[in-house]
Amino acid sequence: MRRIGVVVNPIAGMGGRVGLKGTDGKVAEARDRGAEPRAPERAREALTSLAEVGTDVELLTYGDPMGATEAREAGFDPTVVGHPADPGTTTPADTRAAVRAFVEGDADAILFVGGDGTAVDVAETLDELDDETPMLGVPAGVKVYSSVFGVSPRAAGRIAATFTETEPAEVNDIDEDAFRGGEVVTELRAVATVPVADQRQSAKQLGGGTVETLAEGIAEGVRPGVTYVLGPGSTVGAIKERLGFEGTTLGVDVWRDGELLARDAAESDILDALGEENVIVVSPIGGQGFVFGRGNQQLSPEVIRRCEIEVVASRRKLDEIGTLRVDTGDAALDAELAGWLKVRVGRFERRLVEVLA
């Protein structure tokens, strides 16, 4: 019997599609912009996957909205070990209380649903308790940079049910205020014990290379009347500069016929700006290989379905990551995107790369 503690951060990821680049201190603003909870759906997906492969699993969980309902919807009869102080406004203290309860309940592993901030809460609590219970993240936040997450909710569920070995992994977090200002400021917050698994993501590698010829090739091939949705990152940033405008480094910009239609756009802004022909230009996250689902949730399934997709990357980046990944939150779309893709690596050159869902 494997006993797994499950805790859901119900507000994780709410700021992504509305362009806030995180939810820390921004929950009210995210709701005002029309943000919908993302974590519960991701939790159900992970727990359903866990149920499919975990034939002898007992769940410990926290009271609603931090996991109990999602566990039951996945077919489990969980033991509820505690409740948030205020179900309407959960806090990091509730996550930390849940972790302490899981340890007291002799959990064999902790499966948390959230982003890097939630990972920090779990890891730091385990460190305070001097406890080495393995932890694993279901990616649901805007920031998912640490190497303690499954590559998708379903992968996290499978790993939690079947892992046999563990290893140390870094838990990093980003200053969200700096992130919103266009600067990535990372800090190592903890080293956690995690399951060994191919489908656990690696830590994001911050680095780059010259992409001038690639940017020139994209700019030379711009088509009149076509709307270009330009994702975050330094590689696409070089393309924005070549097109003649200063875009946002870590957000999404929309451009057509020499005019910047939307800067640092939320999902709704992008949808409003789309025309009859649209192209998304994105670059995979270095070290992880995610094209969609990490740091660019504004590029929602609805946006993606209305656009052609142009993936660009330096040769060095592709050599480092090997394959690409997608995690849009829409399983059917992920399946459509999976397969082999020609990635632009220069002015004219392309490389055939496999995309995994």
- What confidence score (pLDDT) does residue 205 get? 42
* Confidence (pLDDT) at 345: 85
The reply to whether 203 falls in a domain is no
Q: Are residues 55 and 189 in the same domain?
A: yes
| pLDDT score at 30 | 45
Which residue's entry shows tokens 């209305």? 306
pLDDT band, very low/low/confident/very high, at 16 (cuts 50, 70, 90): very low
217 in the same domain as 191? no
What mean pLDDT comes out for the span 41-45? Answer: 95
Q: What is the pLDDT of residue 208?
A: 35
CA distance 210 to 334: 30
Q: How many helices (H) and strands (E) does the chain have?
A: 13, 16
Domain boundary among 169, 195, 221: 195
Query: Do 220 and 318 have their domain in common?
Result: yes
| pLDDT at residue 147 tops 80 | yes
Cα separation, 55 vs 138, in Å, equals 20
pLDDT score at 179: 55
Residue 69 CB-density burial (10 A; 0-12 exposed, 13-18 middle, 19+ buried):
middle
| 207 in any annotated domain | no
For residue 353, pLDDT beyond 70: yes
Residue 71 and residue 220 share a domain: no
Shared domain check, 217 and 88: no
Average pLDDT of the chain is: 87
In this structure, the answer to whether residues 224 and 165 fall within a common structural domain is: no
**Model confidence at 189, in pLDDT bands (50, 70, 90)?**
confident
Please give the share of the chain, as a percent, with pLDDT higher than 70. 86
Predicted pLDDT of residue 176: 56
Claim to verify: residue 48 and residue 9 sit in the same structural domain: yes
**Could you tell me if residue 186 is inside a domain?**
yes
Q: What is the pLDDT of residues 117-134, one digit of tens each?
A: 899 999 999 999 999 999
Domain of residue 304 covers 212-356
CA distances from 260 to 133, 138, 224, 227, 345 (A): 49, 35, 14, 10, 25
Least confident range from 76-80, 140-144, 234-238, 244-248: namely 140-144
Please indicate, yes or no, if residue 248 is contained in any of the structural domains: yes
Q: Are 243 and 255 in contact (CB under 8 A)?
A: yes
- Give the relative orientation of helices 153-162 and 39-53 as an angle to the nearest 10 degrees: 40
Q: What are residue 165's phi and psi, to 5 degrees?
A: -130, 160
Q: Which of 52-61, 139-148, 287-296 has the lowest mean pLDDT?
A: 139-148
pLDDT for position 17: 52
Decide which of 195, 222, 257 is a domain's last residue. Answer: 195
Q: How confident is the model at residue 172 (pLDDT cuts 50, 70, 90)?
A: confident
pLDDT digits (tens, 9 = 90+) for 320-330: 888 999 999 99
Asked, for residue 206, whether it belongs to a domain, the answer is no
Name the residue with higher pLDDT: 35 or 269: 269
pLDDT digits (tens, 9 = 90+) for 210-231: 477 788 889 989 999 999 999 9
Contacts of 331 (CB under 8 A, 6+ apart): 45, 154, 357
